[in-house]
Amino acid sequence: MAKKNRRFNAYKTDSYYGFSKEYPEGGKSPDGRYNKRVIKSKIFSGIKIFIAFALLFTLVYFGVTLMLDVSDLPIATEAPSGQAGDEVVKPSEEETVPVRQETAVKGVYIQPNTFSTPEAAKEFAEDSLVKGINSVVIDLKNSDGTINYPTAVEAAQEAGAAEGANENLSEILSALRDGGLDVIGVINCFNDPLMARANNDIAVHYNNTQVIWIDNSLEKGGKPWLNPYSQEARTYLTDIIKEAASMPVDRIILSGVQFPSGYSLDLATYEGEETGDSRNQTLVSFIEQAQGTVGEEKIIVSMTGDGAINGSSDLYDGNLLDSGISCAAPDMRLSQMKNVKIGDKTYYTPSSQAEEFLPLSITQLSQRAKVGGNEVDLYPIIEAESTDDAKSTIDILKNNGIDGYILYNENGNYGF
């Protein structure tokens, strides 16, 4: 008798009956139970894969978003100043705009012998600051050729230029600085009758002779001038300028950078003019020589008001505002101006027509300083008995974009 094969056959119904409690799936048919187990296994695997992809997508999404957000933030160059948890306040627009530093000269002219002691000079400086003044202007070399401080320049000593000098002037200038003011020294240049008389060779001559030319008759106080073409005269002046710059002085005004004014100008002759340089070129080269001696930033060039507005063929052979200078102090004192043309009208005595003339002339001056693309900083010299007295003129200057000025009265007394 053949032996029966007892191997389990999952597909035979006599192994387990349907829904038998011994079957792990609770009594379902064998192939139904097997198929469901396989299906469930595949479903669980699919869910796991889906969840994994979902987590990966989420991580990638938030990672990229975070990087984009960070890249849009401003780059910090300093650590935050507040404590942790403090609210970060963005500065207002006014706080982030840099404030322009005050550089415009707002000065007053004083005489070299105004102060008897350094203490008085310092007190004057402190009072000036309260009135909005930041500079003091003082003559170091006068229009008569004399020098107001003890000079070491040999030619000046030989001519006796400093015989009446103030021995304490350097101390006075230091005290003005200590009180908070900038000190601006005035050097009168070719209007130097003392040196012209002391050295005939460097003076303006009369009608191609060795006789000294003078700007008026002797009876009316006629004076000789230095010859701008003379290199010896120019060297003498730059020696004085260099010496002055070594004192407690912040800047220097060059006055009298011109050819002579006066009578019989057609009889004034200049040795060296035959070299071919124009008179304007000669003055410009002197200014450049002075700038090269002490630095361009230290030099302010003064000129007549009419000469600044309209130029002058006699004095400048043109206009010194066109000479490449950076700062100018045009003399806008009405008492010093006459026969000034503004537009189509000539003002013969501007001082008697001040209300009309002053605004027009300052507007013309402001426009003239911008010609040629080289805008010149202007510090007009204006007459005033006090800062309050000058307010209306200062307002006109401001309305024309001119921040600086130099107040002048002969006594140097401005009510403070």
Q: Are residues 167 and 32 in the same domain?
A: no
Q: Are residues 229 and 364 in the same domain?
A: yes
Q: Mean pLDDT, to the nearest integer, of 148-171? A: 97
The answer to whether position 22 is within a domain reads yes
- The string of pLDDT tens digits covering residues 292-332 is 999 999 999 999 999 999 999 999 999 999 999 999 999 99
Q: Are residues 121 and 34 in the same domain?
A: no
Q: Are residues 215 and 314 in the same domain?
A: yes
Tokens 């975070």, located at residue:
66
The answer to whether position 18 is within a domain reads yes
Q: Please state which of the ranges 25-29, 153-157, 406-410, 412-416 shows the lowest mean pLDDT.
A: 25-29
pTM tops 0.85: no
Sequence-separated (6 or more) residues with CB below 8 Å from residue 281:
none
Q: Are residues 198 and 318 in the same domain?
A: yes
The answer to whether position 36 is within a domain reads yes
The answer to whether position 261 is within a domain reads yes
* Lookup: tokens for 216: 């008026």
The answer to whether position 266 is within a domain reads yes
The domain tally of the chain equals 2
The answer to whether position 333 is within a domain reads yes
Range of the domain at 260: 107-408
Q: What is the CATH number of the domain that holds 116?
A: 3.20.20.80
Q: Are residues 229 and 356 in the same domain?
A: yes
Q: Are residues 250 and 330 in the same domain?
A: yes
CA-to-CA distance for 316 and 318, rounded, in angstroms? 5
Q: Please state which of the ranges 26-35, 204-213, 326-335 shows the lowest mean pLDDT.
A: 26-35
- The string of pLDDT tens digits covering residues 255-290 is 999 999 999 999 999 999 998 899 999 999 999 999
100 φ/ψ sector (left φ>0, alpha ψ -120 to 50, else beta): beta
In which band, very low, low, confident or very high, does the pLDDT at 35 lie, cut at 50, 70 and 90?
very low
The answer to whether position 301 is within a domain reads yes
Q: Are residues 161 and 28 in the same domain?
A: no
Residue 386 DSSP label: S
The answer to whether position 150 is within a domain reads yes
Among residues 367, 256, 371, 251, the alpha carbon closest in space to that of 300 is found at 251
Residue 203 DSSP label: B
Q: Are residues 27 and 119 in the same domain?
A: no
